[in-house]
Chain A
Amino acid sequence: KQEVTQIPAALSVPEGENLVLNCSFTDSAIYNLQWFRQDPGKGLTSLLLIQSSQREQTSGRLNASLDKSSGRSTLYIAASQPGDSATYLCAVRSLTSGTYKYIFGTGTRLKVLA
């Protein structure tokens, strides 16, 4: 059974700092991995999607890496800003009970202090 863990659960950093969020999963047989952002009272916004054959994806100040063999992904945020404050969720798409579905981690709640 696929399990997804995100560490730390919460993080508070000063503005301008570079930071890394971690995601680990127990079954390396994944189809892809997505990083999402969730703002309070709102739905999820997809940030980056990494296919199982890829090692990393970049979008602006965000860089996500994937190491399937070790069951890990990291989300790197460069030069953090107060607007980056949100909960960041990773989700792996795995074959579960006969169908592919996304299994989500519990998220990292990020606060960037001005």
Chain B
Amino acid sequence: EAGVAQSPRYKIIEKRQSVAFWCNPISGHATLYWYQQILGQGPKLLIQFQNNGVVDDSQLPKDRFSAERLKGVDSTLKIQPAKLEDSAVYLCASSLGLAGGNMGETQYFGPGTRLLVL
């Protein structure tokens, strides 16, 4: 079974530029998560999708971050404009999504995209 795929693996940009990350979850997984992991910290949930609907985006900085999951499969996370404090690893995860994605299911993580904002 193929795992969660993410691209690019690394990205270096200057502040005020825009950047986009892509995630392809495990086939058949209805729930998709984007996490931000700053160096030395645990991951922080940015947004959770159930199919192509948003379940939780309470911690997404909506003035600069946006995410979509068209057709309930792949997802993109965009930052525009980027700030220095956005330097982090962006992790995508997916789970089966039983019971509307609100159960404590095992999440499967991708390798992450490491972003450096200069």
Contact = CB atoms under 8 A, between A and B. Distances in A.
A45 B91 CA distance: 12
A32 B106 CA distance: 11
A91 interface: yes
Contacts of B42: 4, 89, 91, 103-107
Interface in A81-112: 89, 91, 93, 96-107
Contacts, number: 62
* Count class of interface residues, chain A: 20 to 34
Overall SS of chain B's interface: loop
Given A99-B58, A101-B56, A104-B44, A43 B109 contact: yes
Interface of A: 4, 31-32, 34, 36, 41-46, 49, 51, 89, 91, 93, 96-107
